[in-house]
Amino acid sequence: MIDWSTKKVIILDRDGVINHDSDAYIKSAEEWVPIAGSLPAVAKLNQRFKIAIATNQSGIGRGFYDESVLSEMHLKMTQLLEEQGGHIDHIEFCPHHPDDGCDCRKPKPLMLQRIADRFKVTANEVVFVGDSKSDYECAQNFGCDFVLVLTGKGLKTLDKLAAKDIATEKSLAKLVEEID
């Protein structure tokens, strides 16, 4: 059970948690579509926590889109969040191809460490919310609490990690209801 009173930062994976994911990658701002309830949920979280995103964006390394297109996606997300009274305090992303051997790609914990350093918090003050096995492993590697949402790849991930004791929630919106 997560003690939310000790938490200062919530880190969210992007694709599958905030917006709909695609096996063909989200390659444009037009393809970036929020999951129902996710943006109001972020706005509600803003009232109590710093909110950051840690997202693997290997579509850049694969040549499907570039960092300017990623910026357009994040601008769309920011504008839609502002309409809900919300915001993202910081975004970390890994642009590398999985074969590049970088230090920032989840499940390595570098993105989470950078976020913690930015907000001057320890792993004990962080919760990572994701939908994939690499998100779970990243949280384990960093040493913070983790919540698996069943949107995106969440149901498949739950099957893969069935033997693990993992906090799960139907969606980001449902998680926020449970925190209150």
Looking at residue 176, its pLDDT comes to: 97
Structure tokens at 165: 């004791």
pTM of the model: 0.97
Looking at residue 1, its pLDDT comes to: 84
Looking at residue 162, its pLDDT comes to: 82
Number of domains forming the structure of the chain = 1
Catalytic residue numbers, as ranges: 13, 15
Q: What is the pLDDT along the chain (180 residues), one digit of tens a residue?
A: 899 999 999 999 999 999 999 999 999 999 999 999 999 999 999 999 999 999 999 999 999 999 999 999 999 999 999 999 999 999 999 999 999 999 999 999 999 999 999 999 999 999 999 999 999 999 999 999 999 999 999 999 999 998 788 999 999 999 999 997
Looking at residue 77, its pLDDT comes to: 98
Looking at residue 164, its pLDDT comes to: 82
Looking at residue 21, its pLDDT comes to: 96
Bridge-based pairing state of the strands 145-149 and 167-169: parallel
Element (H, E) at 9: strand 9-12
Structure tokens at 136: 């779970």
CATH of residue 156: 3.40.50.1000
Question: Which structural domain range is residue 81 located in?
Answer: 4-179
Looking at residue 54, its pLDDT comes to: 98
Give ∠ CA 37-93-164 in degrees, rounded to 5.
65
Of 140, 171, 139, which is closest to residue 155 (Cα–Cα)?
Answer: 171
